[in-house]
Amino acid sequence: MAGPTALAANRRVATEASPAPFLYRALRGPVRRALARWFDLSIEGLEHLPAGGPYLIAANHHNYLDGVVLGVSAPQPISFLVMPRVWRATRLHPLLHRHIGSIPIDLGRADISALRRALQTLEAGKVVGIFPEGPFSVRGPGSIVKSAADSVLPRPGLAAFLLTRCTVQVMSASSWVSSSTVPSS
């Protein structure tokens, strides 16, 4: 792999970023309205996010809706690193993930190609999303990751690698949905 990638602080890569994938744009509004109606979606703290990419968003992970909630809540599209079990959950999932900009990652090994794609996404001025706690939180429903350093990192190499290879902001995020409405595994 090539040497460290430095995203210059004064470089205006956000304006060079290509628009969100079509499917991401098409689904965002309807899914956000559905979440607001069915789960009383409430969004707080958007003012703390940068006006544009690139940045890394690190979030807690309690259930299957976390990525969806973050995806419809953040102002910029998020390219999430997605583990194989989620990427291939149904026959339609691989097609869906490819068309919304997700990045498949194999958690069972050092997946260099996924890390390269994440770096390329950041270099293009976009946002990359990770769940540093792994597939689902070990802290249980209601826990909040206050910062990337505060999280439980079963695979700390992923976040550490990305952070050592680029100079982008890391934003922490938290989502929670009642455990009585969405299964956690």
- Cα 169 to Cα 9: distance, rounded to the nearest angstrom: 10
User: What is the structure's pLDDT at 111?
Assistant: 84
Q: What is the reported pTM? A: 0.76
- Cα 142 to Cα 99: distance, rounded to the nearest angstrom: 31
Count other C-beta atoms under 10 Å from residue 129's C-beta: 25
The structure tokens listed for 47 are 């003012």
pLDDT above 90: residue 65: no
pLDDT tens for residues 67-126?
889 999 999 999 999 888 888 888 888 888 888 899 998 877 778 899 899 999 999 999
Structural element, H or E, at residue 26: helix 22-39
What are the CB-based long-range contacts (under 8 Å, 24+) for 34-40?
Answer: 35/65, 35/68, 35/69, 35/72, 39/65, 39/177, 39/178, 39/181
Can you tell me which residue has the tokens 């090994």?
109
Q: Are 134 and 60 in contact (CB under 8 A)?
A: no
**Domains parsed from the chain with CATH numbers:** 52-173 (3.40.1010)
150 strand-pairing partners: none
Torsion of CA 61, 62, 68, 70, to 10 degrees: -50
Q: φ and ψ at 130, to 5 degrees?
A: -135, 155
